[in-house]
Amino acid sequence: MTDATRCLLLAVEIFGWYSNAVSRWENYQKCNVSPDSIINRACHNATYGQPVHSTHPHLISPDEVLAGISLKEVKHRRQAFLHALRDYAALQNGAATNHIVIIPSANKKYMSHKIPYVFRQNTDFLYLSGCQEPDSVLVLEVDANSNCRNTLFVRPKDKTAEMWDGPRTGVQFAPDVYGVEESFDINLLKDYLTKYGIAKPNALYWYDEKASDLANVSKIIRDVTNNQTKSPIELIQSLRLIKSESECVLMRKTCEIASKAINKTLENSFPGISEHEIYANVDYYTRINGANFLAYPPVVAGGSNATIIHYINNNQIVKGGDLILMDAGCEYHGYTSDITRTWPVDGKFSEPHRVLYEVLLQVQRELLDCLQFQGGETLDQLFDTMCSKIGKYLQEIKLIPSSLSALELSRAAYKFCPHHVSHYLGMDVHDTPLISRNIRLCPGMVCTVEPGIYIPTHKSDIPREFRGVGLRIEDDVLIKPGKEIEILTKECVKDTTLVENL
């Protein structure tokens, strides 16, 4: 059988005519129909499990596998990861060996019988595969000679399932779409791993069952490896921590969309508005400007609700004279923003609220200024600096006694802001959580800067006019070379006068 015949049979299989493929080939020969015309027709009618350039040219450029991310970049990520893993293991074990890494996708999750939540991919899997489909597995291999191999296991084409849940890329198209050497039916994963183990009995297996949604895959790994696996997640996250230029472009966009949406939401708030309506507004303004969805359930807290740090009920009416604290961000093609703003619902800060807000704004500005410098070279250092500065300024307005030592002052300040001042940001809101916040900040990292002041209504040692108030100001920051920073959320208003003008 010639190569042209094989290609034609593949095209025929795509059309669902496989059982009669050979006889149809003879008919095409008799009719003088060229193989190229049939193959082109097959590709034109092909369906995929995610946007590609041929189906979504408004989202995906010809060289991209994800919006804004080229296939070349994803292939480079895989190679960089395998080389890093090989080098790390060689340092640990003292010798080069064979490695196989199994990275599962997410699965669909359901709110009730047959009613799924919006699917969100496992970000470690997405980062290395570019694949947005559930129930898939990426297998990466590197041998003692540094030869790398990438294999993707995906759901096969299934007309009935696709009628209900949408198209699948399938085994045939996966190598071209995702840039892997080979792809197989997900049901062949166990056979593949078993054969690999026989061929390379001394290989190290890398898999993290705790990070997996796919129970069937976890069982396969346990059976094949006898539970002898290492977790690759921290190594993957160490690569994800430093953003490429393409990722920085996406981070700028998600922050721009969220900033403008929060400004618009702030502008359209008024006494008597419900927290729910504010939530609906920010959701609307992010989506209408290109976001896929909100990055997390937002905090929309009026009045004393803002003293509950993770308040997400969002079901109260905001009364005149109250402050609104809103913590919201959006996801734009896999990258997230995370912003908090606090503003007076009736457009004018009361004097006690203005005092606290100006204190917090000053603290946040000074924290931004010291990023990458003394007191801000790591996120943990930045937290210590925040406690010191909040304590100092609250002493000045007499909410903290002036007689405290430096350590006592920081402890007193922590009671007013009992959360960390920063976390890494990227594909996830609390991105790369396995990476320590005590490492030096480097160009390409993105982090938040989010000091807060929270004074519960029952805090009787504080003057009454300051009680029942919660404030937080949060921006997203890209660390740049030369000890510079780029405030990605700079368009979101926070200056007192600008807030009141809006």
- 129 and 110 in one domain? yes
* Residue 157 is assigned to a structural domain of this protein: yes
The CATH number of residue 392's host domain is 3.90.230.10
Q: What does the pLDDT read at residue 94? A: 75
* Residue 148 is assigned to a structural domain of this protein: yes
**CB-based burial, 466-489: b 16+ in 10 Å, e otherwise:** bbbbbbbbbbbbbbeeeeebebbb
Q: Report the 3 state secondary structure along 120-132.
A: CCCHHHHHHHCCC
The arrangement of strands across the sheet holding 323-328 comes to 299-302, 323-328, 339-344
CA distance 473 to 478: 17
- 257 and 162 in one domain? no
pTM, two decimal places: 0.90
* Residue 38 is assigned to a structural domain of this protein: no
- 414 and 324 in one domain? yes
- 281 and 194 in one domain? no
- 247 and 218 in one domain? no
Domain extent for 478? 242-500
- 275 and 233 in one domain? no
- The tokens describing 373, both together, are 């410098």
- 251 and 160 in one domain? no
Number of structural domains the chain divides into: 2
**H or E element that contains 10:** helix 3-14
* Residue 2 is assigned to a structural domain of this protein: no
- 179 and 300 in one domain? no
* Residue 15 is assigned to a structural domain of this protein: no
- 278 and 223 in one domain? no
Local confidence pLDDT in tens for the 502 residues of the chain? 444 444 433 433 433 333 333 433 443 344 344 444 333 434 557 899 999 999 999 999 999 999 999 999 999 999 999 999 999 998 888 777 899 999 999 999 999 998 999 999 999 999 999 999 999 999 999 998 899 999 999 999 999 999 999 999 999 999 999 999 999 999 999 999 999 999 999 999 999 999 999 999 999 999 999 889 999 999 999 999 999 999 999 999 999 999 999 999 999 999 999 999 999 999 999 999 999 999 999 999 999 999 999 999 999 999 999 999 999 999 999 999 999 999 999 999 999 999 999 999 999 999 999 999 999 999 999 999 999 999 999 999 999 999 999 999 999 999 999 999 999 999 999 999 999 999 999 999 999 999 999 999 999 999 999 999 999 999 999 999 999 999 999 999 999 999 999 9
Q: What does the pLDDT read at residue 13? A: 40
What are the φ and ψ backbone dihedral angles of 223, each rounded to 5 degrees?
A: -65, -40
* Residue 34 is assigned to a structural domain of this protein: no
CA distance 496 to 334: 33
From 188, 208, 240, the end of a domain falls on 240
Q: How far is CA 294 from CA 174, 287, 331, 483, in A?
A: 29, 8, 6, 31
- The number of residues making up the chain comes to 502
* Residue 27 is assigned to a structural domain of this protein: no
β partners of residue 185: 154
Grouping H, G, I as helix, E, B as strand and the rest as coil, residue 230 is strand
